[in-house]
């Protein structure tokens, strides 16, 4: 009895703090479900950064100029860095990176479905930067104001780098749009393939989204999936016009009354199929991650063994 009263009190105090826009920090009391939701969300986000290295990494070796190669390599490296901060943010909630990795490699944890699509041509690299990073930024800017302190702070840093990546992607596409006939075709083809999956990145519509209401109350999320998706469409249409590409949606048009663009119906069957593992690259992405992890096991073990030997030697010398 007393226990549940106490918890109710703690919960009320926690919610008051959230409502007052104060950040929740690792040592603060928090409801178990809040902690679990954050671990799930932050680790999904971290896994997305790490798996996201693969489709873009696919073109590092073939980048068409030295300048583009260096920029792409640096971008993929930034993603590894984002993965690191996010795993660290998740670790403040009482789980360690090995456990999180294990969840990724066994398929228990999810990552953003967008990375289960293939990067088929060089234009895909520009398009991923423009649309995929663009969609991610919408979400991440919102998360700089999320209620959990370490997550919000990681996002501030990540957002700065992501907007740089998006410009870099757009710049790749600008070069293609001003290039040869073949390059312009390559650009349009990539946009045709990435447009709808990018819209799906915001997740199911608000009516279908299982975690949304609670996350909004806890101020983990501050805007709904549909709201963010609309902001993304509104921001992107003009950029597409400037590039001279057509977004592959006949229903896309300005709605004067709403003050927003209307757009066509998303193919949610495709979305759920990819989430459930049936996208074009799901199996290969996990296989590649698993292979890197397994091939690296002897290296990690050797580093540990060496550190132990060194510590033992130092101790011995200390005694002598």
Partner 1 sequence: MDQAAALLDYVLRLADSNLVLGQRLAECCGHAPELELDIALTNISLDLMGQARSLYQYAAELKGNGCTEDDLAYFRTEREFRNPLLVEYPNEDFAYTILRQFLFDAYNQLFYQALENSSDARLAEIARKSIKEIRYHLRFSAEWCIRLGDGTELSRQKMQTALDDLWDYTAELCTPNATDQTLLSTGIAVDLEQLKAPYFERVEEILTKATLRKPDYEPFQQGGKEGSHTEFLGHLLAELQVLQRTYPGAEW
Q: Which residues bind partner 1 (CB under 8 A)?
A: 50, 53-54, 57, 60-70, 73-74, 76-77, 80-81, 83-84, 87, 122, 172, 175-176, 178-180, 182-183, 288, 291-292, 295-303, 305-306, 309
Measured from the CB atom, is 39 or 71 closer to partner 1? 71
N-to-C CA span, the chain: 60
Least distance to partner 1, CB of residue 2, Å: 46
Least distance to partner 1, CB of residue 234, Å: 30
Measured from the CB atom, is 107 or 179 closer to partner 1? 179
Least distance to partner 1, CB of residue 290, Å: 11
- Kind and range of the H or E element at 259? none
Between the alpha carbon of residue 299 and those of residues 83, 179, 293, 310, the distances in Å are: 20, 45, 10, 16
Measured from the CB atom, is 7 or 292 closer to partner 1? 292
Measured from the CB atom, is 20 or 61 closer to partner 1? 61
Least distance to partner 1, CB of residue 288, Å: 7
Q: Which tokens belong to 247?
A: 């977004």
Measured from the CB atom, is 13 or 309 closer to partner 1? 309
Q: How far apart are CA 204 and CA 225, in angstroms?
A: 7
Least distance to partner 1, CB of residue 200, Å: 23
Measured from the CB atom, is 81 or 280 closer to partner 1? 81
Helices (H), the chain: 2-19, 32-57, 66-91, 97-105, 122-127, 133-143, 149-177, 181-200, 212-217, 225-243, 268-273, 282-295, 297-319
Measured from the CB atom, is 27 or 160 closer to partner 1? 160
Least distance to partner 1, CB of residue 57, Å: 4
Under DSSP, the state recorded for 224 is: -
Measured from the CB atom, is 10 or 174 closer to partner 1? 174
Strand 253-255 to 260-262 pairing: antiparallel
Q: Which tokens belong to 65?
A: 């100029």
Burial class (CB in 10 A: 0-12, 13-18, 19+), 31: middle
Least distance to partner 1, CB of residue 247, Å: 23
Give the list of residues 6+ apart from residue 193 with CB closer than 8 angstroms, or none. 117, 120, 124, 127
Least distance to partner 1, CB of residue 31, Å: 31
CA-wise closest residue to 191 among 253, 239, 226, 230 = 239
Under DSSP, the state recorded for 115 is: G
Q: Which residue has the tokens 């690191």?
A: 84
């Amino acid at each position: 009895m007393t226990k549940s009263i106490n918890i109710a009190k703690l919960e009320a105090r926690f919610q008051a703090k959230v409502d007052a826009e104060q950040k929740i920090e690792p040592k603060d009391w928090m409801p178990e479900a809040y902690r679990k939701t954050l671990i799930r969300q932050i680790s999904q986000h971290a896994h997305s950064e790490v798996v996201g290295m693969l489709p873009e990494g696919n073109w590092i070796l073939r980048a068409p100029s030295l300048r583009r190669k260096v920029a792409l390599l640096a971008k993929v490296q930034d993603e590894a860095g984002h993965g690191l901060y996010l795993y660290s943010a998740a670790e403040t909630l009482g789980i360690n990176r090995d456990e999180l990795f294990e969840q990724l490699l066994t398929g228990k944890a999810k990552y953003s479905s967008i990375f289960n699509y293939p990067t088929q041509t060089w234009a895909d690299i520009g398009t991923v930067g423009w649309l995929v990073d663009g969609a991610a930024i919408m979400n991440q800017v919102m998360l700089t104001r999320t209620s959990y302190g370490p997550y919000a702070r990681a996002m501030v840093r990540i957002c700065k780098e992501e907007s740089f990546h998006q410009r870099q992607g757009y710049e790749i596409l600008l070069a293609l749009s001003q290039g040869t006939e073949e390059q312009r075709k390559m650009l349009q083809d990539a946009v045709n393939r990435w447009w709808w999956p990018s819209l799906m990145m915001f997740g199911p519509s608000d009516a279908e989204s299982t975690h949304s209401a609670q996350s909004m109350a806890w101020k983990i999320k501050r805007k709904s999936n549909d709201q963010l998706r609309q902001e993304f469409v509104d921001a992107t249409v003009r950029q597409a016009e400037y590039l001279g590409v057509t977004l592959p949606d006949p229903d896309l048009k300005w709605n004067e009354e709403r003050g927003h663009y209307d757009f066509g119906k998303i193919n949610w069957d495709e979305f759920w199929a990819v989430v459930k593992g049936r996208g074009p690259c799901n199996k290969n992405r996990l296989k590649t991650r698993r292979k890197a992890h397994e091939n690296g096991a002897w290296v990690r073990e050797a580093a540990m063994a060496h550190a132990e030997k060194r510590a033992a030697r130092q101790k011995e010398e200390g005694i002598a």
